[in-house]
Amino acid sequence: MGHRNSFYMASKPETILKELKSGKFSPIYFLQGEEPFFIDKITRYIEENALPPQDRGFNQILMYGKDVTVSQILNNAKRFPMMADRQLVIVKEAQNIPDLGKEEGANLLMGYLNNPLPSTILVFAHKYKSLDKRKKLGKELDAKAIVVNAEKVPEYKLGPYIEGYIKEKGFTIDARACQVLAESIGNNLEVLTNEIDKMLINFPEPAEINTDHIQKYVGISKDYNSFELTKALSFKDVLKANKIIRYFGQNPKANPIHPLLGLFYLHFTRILLVHANKNLPERDLAGLLKVNPFFVKEYLAAAKVYKLGKIIDIVGYLKEADLRSKGVDSNMEEHETLKELIFKILH
């Protein structure tokens, strides 16, 4: 079993997956955080690879947090494998273990952490939240188990994430197509990776993905999407922006306002950063804006179109639109709120 002390600190999901794929398994995994996609991915890998198929019948135990106590989990973990080298105990939805947050349950788990059974792999899949690191159990897990903090991928990191995911599959993607996916789908990784996977199975061999492929296989229009909308705003292309807004209005459920407001806020914050750092070389500016260098020229052009005062006004319009979309002092439909917002930004 991989039992190296250098492990025992919060690790990134990619690091742990790499270790698992090299055949190194440790006695205790505590997978926690807001992004269930990574927790599911690691749990699934361990479930499918820790034991050979013939050993699973007697030695693979699956439990659900709401149905078990810490004591019951540990009784299973302390059991020796039957006619096999090791056993696997997985606790799914571990955030629902009733006594994990209580002193008695925490003490029991800390006791096991000090002396885990080497022939058991014990996995806690603790979704949507993390244990408090200031409390003793959080500290003890960090010191004595493999702890993975699965955090949401922020919007500005989605591009590199998509590129990396597609590269893993043996494909490449052009910068524009990557941004269309990121801005149109957002950071729900389960939805995003499902859409990518469904698209890639259509190719008999690896290829470079472009916006035509995304339109054909994912159903995101290459001309009428959120990426093209922010680009139209950058260059104050009133005609194109209005065409996209009309297109969105025909299918409002597929184009909800809140992700768009977040996207606009990020977009105009970047233009604001360009104003404050006009003398930076383009490569350094790309790093500051956290965008592919391919898009820096657009932001430089947008900074000439939108003066500082106008951007500050736009941030105000975004806050106003957000309140209206939540029904504060307004009965406007989402589409009407969006239409009015775009008018204010462009004029």
Residue with tokens 């922020």: 154
Pairing of strands 208-209, 172-173: parallel
**Which of 187, 222, 257 is the C-terminal boundary of a domain?**
222
Q: Are residues 23 and 99 in the same domain?
A: yes
Q: Are residues 192 and 93 in the same domain?
A: no
Q: Which domain holds residue 213?
A: 153-222
Q: Are residues 107 and 186 in the same domain?
A: no
**Which of 132, 149, 166 is the C-terminal boundary of a domain?**
149
Q: Are residues 206 and 268 in the same domain?
A: no
User: How far apart (Å, rounded) are the C-alpha atoms in residues 66 and 139?
Assistant: 24
Identify residue 335 by its one-letter amino acid code: H
Question: What CATH number is attached to the domain comprising 289?
Answer: 1.20.272.10
**Token pair recorded at residue 205:** 């061999």
Mean pLDDT of the 197-220 span: 96
Structural contact between residues 153 and 35, judged by C-beta atoms closer than 8 angstroms: yes
Question: What CATH number is attached to the domain comprising 17?
Answer: 3.40.50.300
Q: Torsions phi, psi of 339, nearest 5? A: -60, -45
Lowest model confidence (mean pLDDT) among 10-14, 200-204, 231-235, 335-339: 10-14
Task: Answer with the residue of higher pLDDT: 5 or 43.
Answer: 43
Q: Are residues 161 and 254 in the same domain?
A: no
- The pLDDT value recorded for residue 126 is 97
- The pLDDT value recorded for residue 327 is 80
User: How far apart (Å, rounded) are the C-alpha atoms in residues 335 and 253?
Assistant: 10
**Which of 94, 114, 149 is the C-terminal boundary of a domain?**
149
Q: Are residues 108 and 212 in the same domain?
A: no
Q: Are residues 210 and 87 in the same domain?
A: no
Handedness of CA 33, 36, 39, 42 (dihedral sign): negative
Q: Are residues 216 and 230 in the same domain?
A: no
Q: Torsions phi, psi of 233, nearest 5? A: -65, -40
Residue with tokens 């360009």: 274
Number of domains in the chain: 3
Q: Are residues 234 and 216 in the same domain?
A: no
List, in order, residues 6 or more apart from 190 with CB less than 8 Å away: 36, 37, 40
Q: Are residues 214 and 251 in the same domain?
A: no
Pairing of strands 172-173, 87-92: unpaired
- The pLDDT value recorded for residue 9 is 53
Residue 193 has pLDDT above 60, yes or no: yes
CA gyration radius for the chain? 25
> Interhelix angle for 257-276 vs 308-325, to 10°?
160
For residue 231, how many other CB atoms are within 10 A of its CB?
21
pLDDT digits (tens, 9 = 90+) for 138-170: 999 999 999 999 999 988 899 999 999 999 999
Q: Are residues 74 and 130 in the same domain?
A: yes
Q: Are residues 218 and 296 in the same domain?
A: no
Residue with tokens 């890998």: 45
- The pLDDT value recorded for residue 10 is 63
pTM for this structure?
0.79
Question: What CATH number is attached to the domain comprising 197?
Answer: 1.10.8.60
Structural contact between residues 149 and 184, judged by C-beta atoms closer than 8 angstroms: no
